């Protein structure tokens, strides 16, 4: 196609279709220059623009109008123009603003990662590691909510929520009817169901997968294990549900399937949404056809327990005593 537009992000030029957002253009390049996204979800229409972690600097608007944009823009909701030049990690201004957003996201977050089921696969945790401060400057009492069971399979920890609206969009677009939404305003706004109605339909479990933090968690997996002790395996089954094709990730601990989630791509987004039967009711290996170990990015803490990406540190190779101590791991690394 000749009508592709050229966009340069941190000095790397890529050609994308017109109408692509800066974030998606950066994802086509991949690597470190992809801005983090807490609220944007490519499968959900209308999402994005809220969390402000993906802000970037547009240093040149386009070929026709080379003026820079006056403010930092949300890359997930700004479309590229031909000849646009964008700065993400090369701009100190962006990095500072992003760390400001992370700090602000964390001021009312309980930081209860040690007891949170999401820890290890939490976008906010990753963001905090990369951009956060070592200590907080917030010295006031944090806003708290009671935790609520919405339906028998999902638990809502409103304290952890960053109000990305993903679950609201999911319920609007994936399920037949939405019974939950945002109540109240400002920093006391909360995700809630319509007068404590249970969120109950065939696809409701997907709100767990889209939640970037531990606000919506799987009750059947609650306190079962830390995710980095489990091994993800791709599997499928013939699902009777018309909208579900039964392609999932099983999370094994030893012989047991501790939980079932949809498959996620490298940006943490669900590839295909799955039904509640697959997610909550099929927890036997015999229910599934195993395909392969799930590829996990080596930056994820889940990968640290994963056979695929084990690379012995150079220091281990040089030191005999260390080689002896890490014998099992070294053997594994040779195997794979």
Residue 310 CB, nearest distance to another protein (Å)? 37
**Which range, of 72-80, 224-232, 244-252, 266-274, touches another protein by CB under 8 A?**
72-80
Strands of the chain (E only): list them: 5-9, 12-16, 55-60, 73-74, 84-87, 148-149, 154-156, 180-183, 190-193, 216-218, 231-236, 247-253, 256-262, 289-293
Radius of gyration (Cα) for the chain, nearest Å? 22
When binding is defined by CB under 8 A, the residue of 22, 26, 56, 72 that contacts another protein is 72
When binding is defined by CB under 8 A, the residue of 52, 153, 263, 279 that contacts another protein is 52
From residue 119 to residue 158, the character string flagging contacts with another protein as x (rule: CB under 8 A) and all else as - is ------------------xx-x--x---------------
Which pair of tokens denotes residue 202? Answer: 């065939």
Nearer to another protein among residue 36 and residue 246 (C-beta): 36
Q: State the number of binding residues for another protein (CB under 8 A).
A: 33
When binding is defined by CB under 8 A, the residue of 163, 174, 215, 244 that contacts another protein is 163
Question: In the β-sheet with 148-149, what is the strand arrangement from edge to edge?
Answer: 148-149, 154-156, 216-218
Does position 19 interact with another protein (CB under 8 A)? The reply is: no
From residue 95 to residue 124, the character string flagging contacts with another protein as x (rule: CB under 8 A) and all else as - is --x--xx-xxx-xx----------------
Over the range 28-45, which residues count as b (16 or more CB within 10 Å of their CB) and which as e? ebeeebbbbbbbbbbbbe
Residue 146 CB, nearest distance to another protein (Å)? 19
Q: How far apart are CA 127 and CA 105, in angstroms?
A: 10
Report yes or no: 241 and 202 within 8 Å, Cβ to Cβ.
yes
Report yes or no: 319 and 326 within 8 Å, Cβ to Cβ.
no
Site for another protein, rule CB under 8 A = 48-52, 55, 71-72, 74, 77, 97, 100-101, 103-105, 107-108, 137-138, 140, 143, 162-163, 165, 181-182, 184-189
């Amino acid at each position: 196609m000749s009508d592709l537009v050229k966009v340069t992000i941190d000095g790397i030029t890529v050609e994308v279709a017109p109408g692509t957002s800066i974030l998606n253009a950066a994802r086509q390049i991949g690597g470190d220059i992809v801005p983090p996204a807490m609220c944007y979800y490519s499968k959900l229409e209308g999402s994005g623009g809220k969390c402000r972690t993906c802000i970037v600097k547009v240093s040149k608007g386009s070929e026709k109008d080379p003026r820079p944009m006056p403010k930092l823009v949300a890359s997930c909701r700004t479309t590229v123009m031909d000849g646009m030049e964008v700065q993400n990690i090369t701009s100190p201004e962006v990095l500072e603003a992003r760390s400001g957003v992370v700090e602000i996201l964390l001021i009312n977050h309980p930081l209860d990662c040690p007891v949170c089921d999401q820890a290890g696969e939490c976008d906010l945790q990753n963001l905090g590691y990369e951009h956060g401060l070592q200590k907080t400057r917030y010295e006031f009492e944090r806003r708290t909510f009671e935790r609520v069971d919405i339906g028998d399979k999902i638990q809502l920890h409103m304290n952890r929520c960053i109000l990305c609206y993903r679950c609201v969009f999911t319920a609007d677009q994936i399920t037949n009817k939405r019974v939950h939404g945002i109540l109240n305003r400002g920093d006391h706004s909360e995700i809630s169901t319509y007068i404590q109605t249970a969120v109950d339909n065939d696809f409701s479990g997907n709100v767990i997968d889209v939640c970037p933090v531990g606000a919506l968690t799987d009750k059947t997996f609650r306190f079962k294990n830390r995710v980095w002790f489990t091994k993800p395996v791709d599997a499928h089954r013939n699902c009777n549900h018309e909208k579900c094709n039964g392609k999932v990730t099983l999370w094994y601990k030893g012989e047991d399937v501790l939980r079932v989630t949809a498959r996620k791509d490298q940006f943490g987004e669900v590839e295909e949404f799955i039904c509640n039967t697959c997610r909550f009711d099929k927890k036997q290996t015999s229910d599934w056809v195993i395909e392969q170990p799930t590829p996990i990015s080596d930056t994820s803490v889940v990968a640290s327990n994963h056979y695929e990406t084990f690379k012995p540190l150079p220091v281990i190779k040089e030191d005999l005593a260390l080689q002896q101590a890490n014998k099992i791991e070294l053997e594994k690394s040779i195997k794979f």
